[in-house]
Amino acid sequence: MERGTQFIGQSSAFLDAVERASRAASLNRPVLVVGERGTGKELIAERLHRLSQRWDGPLVTMNCAALPETLIEAELFGHEAGAFTGATRAREGRFEEADGGTLFLDELGTLSMGAQERLLRAVEYGEVTRIGSSRPIRVDVRIVGATNESLPDMVDRGKFRADLLDRLCFEVVTLPPLRVREGDIEVLSDYFGRRMANELEWDSWPGFGPLARRAMENHQWPGNVRELRNVVERAVYRWNDHAQPVDYIQFDPFESPWIAIPSSAAPAQDSNAEDVANDATDTPSRHSTDFSAIENAQIKVGDFKATTEAFEKALLEQAMAQHRYNQRQTAKALNLSYDQLRHSLKKHDLLG
């Protein structure tokens, strides 16, 4: 869990979720935090701990999806020496480590049914029993669980215990995805961009240009805040003109006009292999340019001629930015000749 990370945002959906977590923090009850990946579930868990009466106790984190099923129970509840192959000495589980504090169980929906049964007993009776022991150990632990799954649906499918869900859902904090947090993309991108510029020792932070801002506002952000942070920091790091606003965004770091072809998809070698290779070199890669951001142009449909010209201009702007204003590479990506591209750029007053 990343310490010292601030809550950044101004949208009502985000602030309502933070407020709900803050209110629940003072109560010694379990809380479930639900949200897509990258929405900040671990930060809410930390807030629940820091604002509780357990703030000076341990905050122990366990990612339930990071361990094989055979080891999850040993991690949670501990084990005695000789309890299983490789258990050369006794070991405390996460419950004992979190005694007097908070246990954050991330990816809760991945727990096996056996682990769920033992977790239910620990929540109900405040007792855990190490694997290989018959002596229960009293623990005082507050549970905060997080998941991007619908636990009620998992109950209906027989994948999650209904009685355990009843015990854990005293309060449920649902975090909104970034795409619905109105105004927060701009706030967060400026925050991460400014911080990255400072790390790179830029003299000042020039902000983002209109193309970059428009692209970020229209991206769906499946990875939410974590994805936005990576995209912004990469854009700032790659930008060479520190005096000009950062105006090129690459959402997929693997995107390249020279992307490798998987061996399973490679054509069989034959007498024409050399010709095939030469043809491939002369043909623009279909992966070289992703123009999905053209939707970012926000063109108002009305007059046909004006609309198509506006779309053409937006496509040229995006392609030029994506290929770092190299006209020859842009022409190749658009399947135009160099002269055709120059003509189009001049037509739209983009040669300045």
Give residue 216's pLDDT: 96
State whether 51 and 200 are in the same domain: no
* Last residue within a domain, chosen from 160, 176, 192: 176
Burial of 116 (0-12, 13-18, 19+ CB in 10 A): middle
State whether 158 and 125 are in the same domain: yes
Which phi-psi region, left, alpha or beta, contains residue 101 (left: φ > 0; alpha: ψ -120 to 50)? beta
State whether 72 and 148 are in the same domain: yes
272: pLDDT strictly greater than 50: no
Q: Is residue 249 part of a domain?
A: no
State whether 25 and 150 are in the same domain: yes
State whether 288 and 310 are in the same domain: yes
Give residue 209's pLDDT: 95
State whether 205 and 270 are in the same domain: no
Give residue 117's pLDDT: 92
Whichever domain contains 129, its CATH number is: 3.40.50.300
Q: Is residue 248 part of a domain?
A: no
- For residues 62, 63, 68, 71, the Cα torsion angle rounded to the nearest 10 degrees is 10
How does pLDDT run across 109-163, given as a tens digit for each residue?
Answer: 999 998 999 999 999 999 998 988 889 999 999 999 999 999 999 999 999 999 9
Give residue 271's pLDDT: 44
Rounded CA gap, 231 and 235, in Å?
6
First to last CA, the chain: 48
* Last residue within a domain, chosen from 128, 153, 176: 176
State whether 39 and 152 are in the same domain: yes
Q: Is residue 256 part of a domain?
A: no
> In terms of DSSP H, where are the helices of the chain?
12-25, 41-50, 69-77, 94-97, 113-125, 151-156, 162-168, 184-199, 210-218, 224-238, 273-282, 304-322, 327-333, 338-347
Whichever domain contains 201, its CATH number is: 1.10.8.60
Q: Is residue 246 part of a domain?
A: no
Give residue 277's pLDDT: 40
Q: Which domain holds residue 41?
A: 12-176
Mean pLDDT is highest, among 3-12, 172-181, 259-268, for: 172-181
Burial of 268 (0-12, 13-18, 19+ CB in 10 A): exposed
Total domains in the fold of the chain = 3
State whether 61 and 170 are in the same domain: yes
Average pLDDT, rounded, for the chain? 85
Rounded CA gap, 327 and 80, in Å?
68
State whether 116 and 158 are in the same domain: yes
Q: Is residue 66 part of a domain?
A: yes
Instruction: Give how far the C-alpha of residue 319 lies from the chain's centroid of Cα atoms, to the nearest Å.
Output: 26
Q: Is residue 257 part of a domain?
A: no
State whether 26 and 140 are in the same domain: yes
Q: Is residue 205 part of a domain?
A: yes
Q: Is residue 324 part of a domain?
A: yes
Three-state secondary structure call for residue 61: strand
* Last residue within a domain, chosen from 158, 176, 194: 176
DSSP state of 29: S
State whether 301 and 223 are in the same domain: no
- Give the mean model confidence (pLDDT) for residues 20-29: 96
- Give the mean model confidence (pLDDT) for residues 224-249: 95
State whether 156 and 183 are in the same domain: no
Rounded CA gap, 28 and 30, in Å?
7
